[in-house]
């Protein structure tokens, strides 16, 4: 039976972690709300559980040592109960946080970074060893532009400060090593891609890969808010995204942590665009 449990197994990073374990033939468990919808294999055991309902985790957590934790909510309301359940079974948790967290600040610049800072404090205060992965903007966020690029070649949205966008495959590669090597216990790693990119840089790169002229058109935050609400996004999420776009400071930070941990340099955003070109055509 696997000693590794991956939450968020249906998300972009979680799926990639599962795929890398499957390729290596390493046994792993995927925690999902609907096991029937997730493919299992000889090395992947699918178990039912829901982080929003901590009492569903007891059976899923039995018999393993390490948990990869993604927190998919905008508050830490249920986190203490979830961490208590994890601590009763596991020796260590690997948590996916944000590179925007400033551990020296009393308050973070925006609600999303504040959530991650609060989660980090709860994990550090829990009776369990931990590894924290502070990831920069993950390239797979660009999937949300696919329809606009396919239909108009223009991405319209709120401008966000440039960051060193990182391929989700690199985040997963570091996570796999953190989950399988106890020497990473107690570490906090800041993960970035190899270059700082604006949204315009990313959209233009996608266009170059698919052979079309594409560009990013920033829109005022109020219009972006109205559009996201009209699209059906939850109001609390919309307000968090708007606050992030408005308040998050620019960052020129580029680290070599991916290469240090995995032995391979971080992939470029162009590499990501090549890997996913079909969704934009």
Domain ranges of the chain: 4-139+167-192+252-267
CB 251 within 8 A of CB 161: yes
Per-chain mean pLDDT for the chain: 93
Q: Is the pLDDT of residue 1 over 60?
A: no
pLDDT at 231: 87
How far is residue 199's CA from residue 163's CA, in Å, rounded to a whole number?
Answer: 9
81: region left, alpha or beta (phi > 0 left; psi from -120 to 50 alpha) = alpha
How far is residue 172's CA from residue 158's CA, in Å, rounded to a whole number?
Answer: 28
Q: Is the pLDDT of residue 2 over 70?
A: no
Third-level CATH fold of 4-139+167-192+252-267 = Rossmann fold (3.40.50)
263: region left, alpha or beta (phi > 0 left; psi from -120 to 50 alpha) = left
Q: Is the pLDDT of residue 28 over 70?
A: yes
In this structure, the number of other CB atoms found within 10 A of the CB of residue 181 comes to 11
**What is the per-residue pLDDT across 103-122, written as a single tens digit (0 to 9) for each?**
899 899 899 999 999 999 99
Placement of tokens 């590669």 in the chain: 173
pLDDT at 37: 80
Burial of 42 from C-beta contacts in 10 A (0-12 / 13-18 / 19+): exposed
Q: Is the pLDDT of residue 232 over 70?
A: yes
Placement of tokens 């829109």 in the chain: 219
Please, what sign has the CA dihedral across residues 69, 75, 81, 87?
Answer: positive
* Residues 145-149, mean pLDDT to the nearest whole number: 97
Q: Global pTM?
A: 0.94
Residue 18 pLDDT grade (very low, low, confident, very high; cuts 50, 70, 90):
very high
* Residues 30-48, mean pLDDT to the nearest whole number: 85
How far is residue 250's CA from residue 161's CA, in Å, rounded to a whole number?
Answer: 5
Structure token digits, residue 247: 């308040």
């Amino acid at each position: 039976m696997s000693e590794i449990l991956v939450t968020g197994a249906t998300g972009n990073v979680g799926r990639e972690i599962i795929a890398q374990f499957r390729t290596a033939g390493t046994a792993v468990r995927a925690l999902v709300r609907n096991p029937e919808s997730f493919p299992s294999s000889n090395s992947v055991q699918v178990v039912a559980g829901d982080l929003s309902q901590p009492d569903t985790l007891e059976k899923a957590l039995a018999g393993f040592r390490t948990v990869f934790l993604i927190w998919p909510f905008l508050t830490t309301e249920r986190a203490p109960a979830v961490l208590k359940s994890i601590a009763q079974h596991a020796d260590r948790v690997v948590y996916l946080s944000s590179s925007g967290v400033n551990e020296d600040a009393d308050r973070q610049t925006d609600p999303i970074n504040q959530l991650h800072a609060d989660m980090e404090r709860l994990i550090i205060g829990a009776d369990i060893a931990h590894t924290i992965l502070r990831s920069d903007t993950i390239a797979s966020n660009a999937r949300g532009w696919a329809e606009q690029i396919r239909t108009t070649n223009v991405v319209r949205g709120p401008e966000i400060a440039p960051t060193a966008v990182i391929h989700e495959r690199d985040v997963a590669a570091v996570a796999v090593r953190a989950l399988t090597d106890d020497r990473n216990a107690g570490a906090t790693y800041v993960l970035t891609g190899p270059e700082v990119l604006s949204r315009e840089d990313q959209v233009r790169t996608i266009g170059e890969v698919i052979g079309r002229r594409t560009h990013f058109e920033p829109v005022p935050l109020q219009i972006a808010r109205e559009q996201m609400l009209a699209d059906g996004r939850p109001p609390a999420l919309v307000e968090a995204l708007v606050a992030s776009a408005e308040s998050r400071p620019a960052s020129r930070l580029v680290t070599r942590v991916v290469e240090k941990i995995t032995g391979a340099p971080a992939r470029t955003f162009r590499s990501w665009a090549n890997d996913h070109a079909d969704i934009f055509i």
